[in-house]
Amino acid sequence: MNEIRVRFAPSPTGYLHIGGLRTALYNYLFARKEKGTFILRIEDTDKSRQVPGAIENLINTLNALGLDYDEGPGRESKFAPYIQSERLSLYKEHAQYLLDSGFAYPCFCSPETLTKMREEQQSKGEFVKYDRRCLSLTKSEIEQKIAAGEKYVIRLKMPDNRKFQFNDLIRGEVEMDSNQSDDQVLLKSDGFPTYHLAAVVDDHLMQISHIIRGEEWLSSTPKHIYLYECLGWETPKWVHLPLILNADRTKLSKRMNDVSVDSYLAKGYLKEALINFVALLGWHPSDDRELFTLDELCNAFSLERVNKAGAIFDLTKLDWMNGQYLHSLPVEDIAMRCKHLFLEKGYDLSDENKYQLAIAVARERCTLLNEIVDYCKMFYQPEELKNDDIKTLLAPEAQKVLAWFATNLPILSAWDTESIQNLVNSGIAELGIKGKKFYTPLRLALIHQQHGPELPSTFIILGKEESIKRLQQYLPS
């Protein structure tokens, strides 16, 4: 198997989370680096956990992040279909082969029986696994139970006292004892396969060369190796990615943490920052560089530089990285991505020049897209002035400052940063007022707050007409 073929195979049980994104990203980067094929496969065989609309959300999120798959739903090839619930006959066929060959057996134990069995094993401090009570059933007994309509599952008969040895491209040589593996259910009583059977069958039939998945599947690898062996197939290469950890080194959990990728995008994180940040959750480049475009990651990525140790999810680092992209991407790009947020607030964006200028100033002072729209409120719909601020504006010195600018702004010939700064300097010199007593009245009148961008920037964003109008509002008519 020479061609590199990898897959991201999520279950549609909710939104794509950070751990899933990292798995998808590493598969994507590896495929692109090796000129291989990146496949999306939907593992939807557990109908009890499936969330309506989750498949569409997964696909939309991958597309939004620029992780375009080569094969998958909507991009069919000879290996289709890519949704497991559409492949049930394949799993039943292979489960039957395993039964007929003696590698698997039917199990008629009820959920209540299994629960009681596990509780007894736990109370004795034993390894919790199925005790094979149905393995001793005769062919006649099995036929009678089936004829009577008893529900049953099909279990894999794992070998006893066997050491499974395999090479993991991140961890090196791994050895695991079969006695620490259960007789895994392969086919459930409803005819749907478990992950273990479906993944092995699909990975073989789709000619997957490398299984790149999370560390939580490491303990299942002996079962999968044995299934490949029973079915007479060559195993792929194994790659188990390190855990993603909280700052306290506990496992990052989608039940305990806000780890939905959509949630981060909705908060105003940029896709470039998310991709860059997640890429470094386990992988490290050959130098100390931290900022990469997706194309640069494709060129630099290698499985050899993925760590064994868990990766710390550092939100402060993500915020820093997002700020770097927010400040470095073209202003027009940031403005386009922010526009819907401004429109949702009801801001009038008919003056495109004002909008672009506001974005340019705001992005230097913000970390997230959502913060930009909040920052720019002063230019579009400033807050109502507080009583104390109104008193400040009506003070004699403040009135002098406002009146001087209301008189001199209309006759200013050029409307640029240098000309406005010269005008500010002239105002300070002529009025003999400086510091807070000079700047505060202007900011209160223009943006209804005592702190904001440099005065020339504020005047330029508002424009000459709007600036004069806002100043005159607090002068006697």
Active-site residue list:
254
Cα separation, 332 vs 26, whole angstroms: 30
17 beta partners: 260
Tokens matching residue 257: 């943490």
Length of the chain: 477
Cα separation, 2 vs 237, whole angstroms: 12
- Cα 403 to the center of its chain, rounded Å: 53
Residue matched to tokens 């496949």 = 39
Question: What are the start-end ranges of the H helices in 270-328?
Answer: 271-279, 294-300, 315-328
Residue matched to tokens 């672009």 = 356
Cα separation, 178 vs 192, whole angstroms: 25
CA neighbor of 72 nearest in space, from 124, 18, 15, 12: 12
Tell me the three state secondary structure of residue 277.
Answer: helix
Cα separation, 33 vs 99, whole angstroms: 41
Phi first, then psi, for residue 8 (nearest 5°) are -105, 125
Cα separation, 50 vs 103, whole angstroms: 30
Q: How far is it between the farthest Cα atoms of the chain?
A: 109
Tokens matching residue 176: 């695991």
CA dist 288 to 276, 292, 314, Å? Answer: 14, 12, 17
Q: How many CB atoms lie within 10 A of CB 89?
A: 9
* CB contact at 8 A, 370 and 339: no
By the 10 Å C-beta count (0-12 exposed, 13-18 middle, 19+ buried), 197 is classed as buried
251 beta partners: 245
